[in-house]
Amino acid sequence: MIEWRDEGICLGARPHGESAAIVEVFTLLHGRHAGVVRGGAGRKMAAALQPGTQLDVVWRARLEDHIGAFTAEAVQGRAGIAMAHPGTLLGLGATVALLRATLPERAAHPGLYRATVALFDLFGYPEVWPTAHLRWEVLLLETLGFALDLSACAVTGATEGLAFVSPRTGRAVTQAAAGDWADRLLPLPPCLTGAVPQDQAEIAAALDVTGHFLRVVMAETGSLLPEARARYVAWLAG
């Protein structure tokens, strides 16, 4: 028998049999992991298995490659806080869907996990949450092996006047260096380089950039950007 205990974030649950549920959890030390929760389809466990809920989980299986079984206890619920504002509720759905769509099963990413916990802890601050989510998506890209390099122009090395992003390399380009190639480059919203965003539309434009590179990375596994993310970006764009 194999057994481990970890902390994690519930990513979702689906019914399994008459009363159980198969639950996906993003854990600190064991990555995105699934398991059967007995009684998980009942009302008693409903609150604990809401997306975004912080869980204390124990996973047991006879063999490592089995789906195994979870026992789960809610440590901190977040869905209620997220539901207080339409943007954070949509953002919760987008973040959870991205984790489910991009992370390989059972691969630990402790840095991304801690960043996700910190992001979800900001649900009560809807005015800063979109910017925090943008920073989280940049980290997600880095975790997936595609780090953006927006510190200097890829052509000239200049650090001022950065206006575009190469859709191929993820590196910044100045207006002057872009020349006739400008219409083939992605616009670089200032908030992607650390500036305070002027409005939500600017954050939406920045998420269009990160979304381009997420599509590039996800295409390697045949995955698509989740609809939940598209709804969140559309809400930001107004």
pLDDT bin (cut points 50, 70, 90) of residue 200 is: very high
Please give the angle made by the CA atoms of 221, 226 and 229, to the nearest 5 degrees: 135
Query: What pLDDT shows up at residue 192?
Result: 97
Query: What pLDDT shows up at residue 41?
Result: 84
pLDDT digits (tens, 9 = 90+) for 160-195: 999 999 999 999 999 999 999 999 999 999 999 999
Domain 81-237 sits in CATH 1.20.1440.120: yes
pLDDT bin (cut points 50, 70, 90) of residue 48 is: confident
Q: Name the average pLDDT for the chain.
A: 95
Query: What pLDDT shows up at residue 147?
Result: 96
Query: What pLDDT shows up at residue 161?
Result: 94
2-77 belongs to which CATH class?
mainly beta
Mean pLDDT, residues 2-15 taken together:
95
Nearest residue to 172 (alpha-carbon basis) of 156, 157, 153: 153
Mean pLDDT, residues 14-34 taken together:
94
Please give the angle made by the CA atoms of 72, 100 and 138, to the nearest 5 degrees: 115
CA distances from 183 to 98, 112, 139, 153 (A): 29, 34, 27, 17
17 pLDDT above the threshold of 90: no
Residue 159 CA to residue 172 CA, distance in Å, equals 9
Domain boundaries in the chain?
2-77, 81-237
CA distances from 145 to 50, 214, 220 (A): 29, 10, 12
pLDDT bin (cut points 50, 70, 90) of residue 8 is: very high
How many whole angstroms from its chain centre is CA 73? 23
| Residue 147 in tokens | 């780090």
